[in-house]
Amino acid sequence: MKRVVVTGLGAVTPIGNNVQEYWNSLINGVSGAAPITRFDTTQFKTKFACEVKNFDASPIFEKNEIRKYDLFTQYALYAADEAVKNANIDFDSLNKNRIGVIWGCGDGGISTFEEQIGEYKLGNGTPRFSPFFIPKRIVNIASGVISIKYGLRGINYTTAAACSASNTAIIDAFNYIRWGKADMMITGGSEASVTESSIGGFNASKALSTLNDDYSKASRPFDATRDGFVLGEGAGVVILESYEHAIKRNAVILAEIVGGGLAADAYHLTGTHPEGEGAVLGMELALEEAGISPDQIDYINAHATSTPTGDLSELKAVEKVFGINPNANISATKSMTGHLLGGAGAIEAIACIKAVQENIVPPTINTQKVEPEVADKFNLTLGKAQSRIVNYAMSNTFGFGGHVASSIFKKFTE
């Protein structure tokens, strides 16, 4: 098995439109929640979300190009551009047949779908659809257009595993490289689901917070008063390559990925297993693959969306794997970014990689009264970032349908 290293990062998030802005906001505890600007929320129970702010796609798109891409694809290309530059990649000097793209996404072009169906209805059933309608909305298009932009002919597909999609994509990319089937992968995920149907649908399932009067504090993972997640959007990109490939091109190595565990709850359509059975299996598999014991993990970026059942079941799983008061700091960065659905694992992987690089654990904000059942069992990094040596960081993600993905990043050493 080949060693797999991280050589580039890119991000578009509700709290920063590049990696450094995003990281600075994370460690300073900045909330990305604000009133929704995309549509009139008068009739909706939830009137706020974590939207991407001041996004300008023009630096990487020609004016007539933008109309070809849904926002989730624009975010993907923008973040990929940053990651490629960050990794200092000259693709023309590399074997493009062995460089691929594996992307994660849950909803795809949902805003495009809403717009086109709306226009169809207004036209009294006249089928006047844009020629870009289908390629704009399909969930796999971001991986395709990234490969087209850079001429990459290697492995290319999109994982659709709900909220664990981009973590699954990262683990798949890791596996293909360590198996020797690729030299480099652009991986991560994106989502742009702040739309009427998403807010309405999640409201109908009672998954979203309705704390409209105090929206900046609505995402409060582990808090006894939590009432649901805050919807987010954006993209995260991680460049992975084999250690040998990175050394040969004199790349700066940011971290190493050493383990990935994929599993399922096999329990419920939307809810996590109350005892975290799938999460336990995913974390154990990741640790086994990394060849480390639970006490070697220094930081766990929890899935922790701020839902009543999900947060508690995850901590029960952590207790089963790591014990009470484990070595690891735990934090829920969704308290700041909101929940990016299929893109969540990508930006949370970046949070883990930066924690490993900088020896700083980002905080869990807004949580005032920890769920009594777990209040004295874990260091949840409440309120402010904590400096500590982070040699290993774990990222957990769970999705509707019971999908589980846990990945482990390590401080790079020769």
Catalytically active residues, by annotation: 163, 303, 339
- Report the DSSP pairing between strands 255-264 and 403-410: antiparallel
Q: 320: which residues sit within 8 A by CB, 6+ positions away?
A: 275, 276, 280
Say how far apart CA 99 and CA 370 lie, in whole Å: 45
Q: Which SS3 state, helix, strand or coil, does residue 56 take?
A: coil
Q: Are 33 and 48 in contact (CB under 8 A)?
A: yes
Tokens of 34: 């604000």
Query: In Å, how far are 9, 79, 85, 184, 213 from 153, measured between CA atoms?
Result: 21, 20, 20, 11, 50
Q: Please give the backbone phi and psi of residue 278, each rounded to the nearest 5 degrees, phi first.
A: -65, -40
Say how far apart CA 175 and CA 246 lie, in whole Å: 16
Q: Answer positive or negative: Cα dihedral of 262, 267, 269, 273.
A: negative
Helices 277-290 + 308-322 axis angle, to 10: 40
Say how far apart CA 327 and CA 378 lie, in whole Å: 9
